[in-house]
């Protein structure tokens, strides 16, 4: 049984249901990517699974217990969350930010223990951020900052890490660096990764498991080979896709595509009539 599951989960903003009665099971020690068009509920589902948002109905189960019935510190020892484009206070150094990942383990006055310092050093080294640990976080490039946030998540010493669009605002080389780092953490440290991605080919290349969503529902989930078919891409993204096999890894690859239905043209015609 998977450590993290959702049973009949509905998540709402106000009166509007964004995620609609979903059953979901996240594979342990795998990379799962959630894909789908804008507004389909990807980030909302991720926030619900990580307890950032409450569920309207249903339940999120973590290690056999309802996640909302577990203490904040207990949950923080099991899961780490990297939000989309997080802000950093001015003057905060890399090492100071990474040390925040040790909060769930601190007692009393919150001083760092020898174990805390060991875990912080490990997180800095494994993410390649050790060499600039004394620098101001806001002085770093986008790719460097993203590595620091991942280091903070690692310092929590959790086995489940959530990343909401970790490649946003990064150029293509830095996107690949971050995704390769995530893949390394999964392969070498055994972390279970759940992330939201927009780039379909990156999701295929770096994921073991895909969840394709549209309008708050899961249309298909499974391996990249099972999910990335011409029919599923048409249903999820409204595109006529041409797929090929990536010669580097044998996975499907989106080569070219076109719109199936141009909604904006339909609206213009209806307004004119």
Q: Determine whether 56 is exposed, middle or buried from the number of CB atoms within 10 Å of its CB (0-12, 13-18, 19+).
A: middle
* Structure-token pair, residue 16: 């509007």
Q: Do residues 251 and 245 make contact, with C-beta atoms less than 8 angstroms apart?
A: yes
DSSP 8-state code for residue 197: -
Residue 81 three-state SS: strand
How far apart, in whole angstroms, are the C-alpha atoms of residue 20 and residue 107?
A: 40
Q: What is the pLDDT of residue 273?
A: 45
- Nearest of 237, 208, 182, 226 to residue 39 by alpha carbon: 237
In Å, how far are 125, 147, 152, 158, 218 from 132, measured between CA atoms? Answer: 11, 11, 14, 24, 41
Helix (H) or strand (E) holding 36: none
Length of the chain: 273
Predicted confidence (pLDDT) per residue in 59-88, tens digit: 999 999 999 999 999 999 999 999 887 888
Q: Do residues 120 and 103 make contact, with C-beta atoms less than 8 angstroms apart?
A: no
- Nearest of 145, 136, 138 to residue 82 by alpha carbon: 145
- Nearest of 212, 272, 205, 267 to residue 238 by alpha carbon: 212
**Its pTM surpasses 0.75:** yes
Q: What is the pLDDT of residue 109?
A: 65
Angular region, 248: left φ>0, alpha ψ -120 to 50, beta rest: alpha
* Structure-token pair, residue 2: 């998977």
Q: What is the pLDDT of residue 169?
A: 86
How far apart, in whole angstroms, are the C-alpha atoms of residue 139 and residue 92?
A: 10
pLDDT in tens, the chain (273 residues): 899 999 999 999 999 999 999 999 999 999 999 999 999 999 999 999 999 999 999 999 999 999 999 999 999 999 999 988 788 888 999 999 999 999 999 886 678 999 999 999 999 999 999 999 999 999 999 999 999 999 999 999 999 999 999 998 899 999 999 999 999 999 999 999 999 999 999 999 999 999 999 999 999 999 999 999 999 999 999 999 999 999 999 999 999 999 998 765 455 444 444
Q: Do residues 51 and 68 make contact, with C-beta atoms less than 8 angstroms apart?
A: yes
How far apart, in whole angstroms, are the C-alpha atoms of residue 262 and residue 258?
A: 10
Residues 6+ apart with CB under 8 A from 108: none
Q: What is the pLDDT of residue 264?
A: 54
């Amino acid at each position: 049984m998977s450590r993290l599951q959702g049973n009949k989960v509905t998540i709402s903003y106000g009166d509007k249901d964004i995620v609609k009665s979903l059953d979901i099971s996240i594979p342990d020690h795998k990379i799962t990517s959630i894909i789908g068009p804008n507004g389909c509920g990807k980030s909302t589902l991720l926030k619900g699974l990580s307890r950032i948002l409450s569920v309207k109905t249903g339940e999120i189960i973590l290690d056999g217990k309802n996640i909302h019935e577990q203490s904040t510190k207990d949950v923080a020892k099991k899961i780490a969350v990297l939000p989309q484009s997080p802000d950093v206070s001015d003057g905060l150094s890399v090492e100071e930010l990474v040390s925040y990942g040790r909060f769930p383990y601190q007692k009393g006055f919150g001083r760092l223990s020898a174990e805390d310092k060991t875990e912080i050093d490990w997180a800095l080294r494994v993410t390649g951020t050790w060499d600039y640990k004394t620098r101001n976080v806001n002085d770093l490039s986008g790719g460097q900052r993203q590595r620091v946030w991942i280091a903070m998540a690692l310092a929590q010493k959790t086995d489940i890490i959530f990343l909401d669009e970790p490649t946003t605002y990064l150029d293509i080389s830095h996107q690949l660096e971050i995704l390769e780092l995530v893949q390394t953490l999964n392969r070498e440290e055994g972390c279970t990764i759940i992330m939201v991605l927009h780039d379909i080919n990156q999701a295929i290349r770096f994921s073991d498991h895909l969840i394709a969503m549209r309008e708050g529902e899961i249309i298909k989930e499974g391996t990249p080979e099972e999910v990335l078919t011409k029919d599923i891409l048409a249903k999820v993204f409204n595109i006529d896709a041409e797929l090929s096999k990536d010669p580097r890894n044998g996975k499907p690859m989106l080569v070219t595509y076109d719109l199936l239905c141009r909604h904006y043209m339909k609206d213009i015609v209806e307004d004119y009539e």
